[in-house]
Amino acid sequence: ANATHEVINFTLHTTLAATTKLVVPTPAKPILPVQTGVQAQQEEQSSGMTIFFSLLVLAICIILVHLLIKYRLHFLPESVAVVSLGILMGAFIKIIEAQKLANWKEEEMFRPNMFFLLLLPPIIFESGYSLHKGNFFQNIGSITLFSVFGTAISAFIVGGGIYFLGQADVIYKLNMTDSFAFGSLISAVDPVATIAIFNALNVDPVLNMLVFGESILNDAVSIVLTNTAEGLTRENMSDVSGWQTFLQALGYFLKMFFGSAALGTLTGLISALISFFSFVIHLYKLVKFNILIHIDLRKTPSLEFGMMIIFAYLPYGLAEGISLSGIMAILFSGIVMSHYTHHNLSPVTQILMQQTLRTVAFMCETCVFAFLGLSIFSFPHKFEMSFVIWCIVLVLFGRAVNIFPLSYLLNFFRDHKITPKMMFIMWFSGLRGAIPYALSLHLGLEPIEKRQLIGTTTIIIVLFTILLLGGGTMPLIRLIDIEDSKARKRNKKDINLSKTEKM
């Protein structure tokens, strides 16, 4: 009995000890940040210096653009001037760091998340909101063909060329998904300088709309294609055939494209519905109904404007949150809101929306081009001459295969034919901008030297197209005589390459 009692006591003691060990609480996470007061102060000082210098660069760029408008410097588009200024400022920062006059680095000013969350959405939304919908939808078939199928053609040519040249040991070797990701991101065109020249010279409005419309949809398509390639990279595709991979990529692209477009359209229609209720209440004086009196936002333009700003950014956040394309969603939301919502707003809010969107988009674009110039000195580079040269050749060749065959195909169905001169200008207008650069930084490529190579090559291609192609558009248009007849009657002193002169 005593032995049995001891065994029971030992068992209970062991069980209680084990139970006691299981219920030992884990130490709670600290509520306050781990940083000490000195570390937090140093980080705050560094962030303050970054904000100060960013605003200083932006202010200098605004003054520079004003001087371009005032003195009508014909052959210097805004984007070229701002990028050049960014290069000079980047060199100045490097000198400051070398002399140890400051303890911060310029790469803190540009992060891909900052670009995609803060700088890009206002630019895309303003493009959709200020779109000339008559010319756009009259050429919607041609624009869609160039922006969707043309971008895909360019991405496949650049990506496929890089892959096969790498397999032949001609250039740096990349796998198939990485090659296609780079081909997709470098296919995003940004003809800001070209559009400014088109507006200055009054070229054929069809040519203007084809280039401008393609650039609007092309950005979203390029981002979706790049995200598709990234999605395939994250998944294990070793046991999947090439045909199954293509079908999976096509399904992912269609889901991103049409799902994001539907989400943006729905958000725009909801904003139009809310503004329509306010318009009807204001028009028919139905404020006697207590249920509807709270919807009349036209009486308070500041609140009405605030609601429109919320709806402008709402589809972007929602689309990104559910793994869709925020750029595609905010683009279609801008188009729908300008067509339906804008006419229901009060006159004060209409003017406020137009001016605010133009100003914010201009400042974001200026920041983007300035950061492009600064990026030359912002991170360690990996430069390979053969890779850069072949990428430039493939980019130009992919643009040609995109423009010329599709233009000849479209001429069978168009009343207003795309002439060979227009085709050449469209090919020459394939400038690359900030979106390829930001996407290159956003790619999670391994090893690190691969990421540095892609980033360096992207910067070189972007600067090559902006400085050489963008700066050469005016002489080219003069040379091939594609100006509209009305433009020839204008005095050369009246020509200005600024798209912000009427802001």
Write the DSSP assignment of 302-343 as a string of letters.
HHHHHHHHHHHHHHHHHHHHTTS-HHHHHHHHHHHIIIIIGG
- The predicted structure's pLDDT at residue 219: 78
Indicate the pTM of the whole model.
0.77
* CATH code of the domain occupying 112-494: 1.20.1530
Q: Are 499 and 196 in contact (CB under 8 A)?
A: yes
Q: Domain boundaries in the chain?
A: 112-494
Alpha-carbon distance 346 to 323, whole Å?
35
Distance between CA atoms of residues 332 and 124, nearest Å: 10
In this predicted structure, what is the pLDDT of residue 328? 85
Q: Are 90 and 381 contacting, i.e. CB atoms less than 8 angstroms apart?
A: no
Please give the DSSP secondary-structure letter assigned to residue 110.
-
Measured between alpha carbons, how far is 440 from 222 in angstroms, rounded to an integer?
12
Amino acid code (one letter) for 21 = K
Alpha-carbon distance of 314 to 330, in angstroms, equals 8
- DSSP label of 147: I
CA distance 412 to 207: 17
Cα torsion 294, 295, 301, 307: sign: positive
Per-residue tens of pLDDT for the chain, all 503 residues: 555 555 555 554 555 454 444 445 555 555 555 555 667 777 777 777 778 878 888 899 889 888 888 887 766 777 778 888 888 888 887 777 666 555 555 444 566 777 788 888 898 898 888 887 777 888 888 888 998 899 999 999 999 999 999 998 888 888 888 888 899 889 888 766 566 666 666 677 788 888 888 887 887 788 888 877 777 666 655 555 567 777 777 787 788 888 988 999 999 998 888 776 665 555 555 444 444 445 667 778 888 898 899 999 999 999 988 888 888 899 899 999 998 888 888 889 889 999 999 899 888 888 888 888 887 777 777 888 999 999 999 999 999 999 999 999 999 888 888 888 889 988 988 888 878 887 887 777 777 788 888 888 998 898 888 888 877 777 777 777 655 444 444 444 444 445 555 55
| Radius of gyration of the CA atoms of the chain, in A | 28
**Residue 200 to residues 65, 189, 193, 204, 418: CA-CA distances in angstroms?**
15, 20, 11, 12, 21
Both structure tokens of 497: 């390459």
* Tokens representing residue 124 in the block: 């895309």
Please give the pLDDT value at position 500: 57
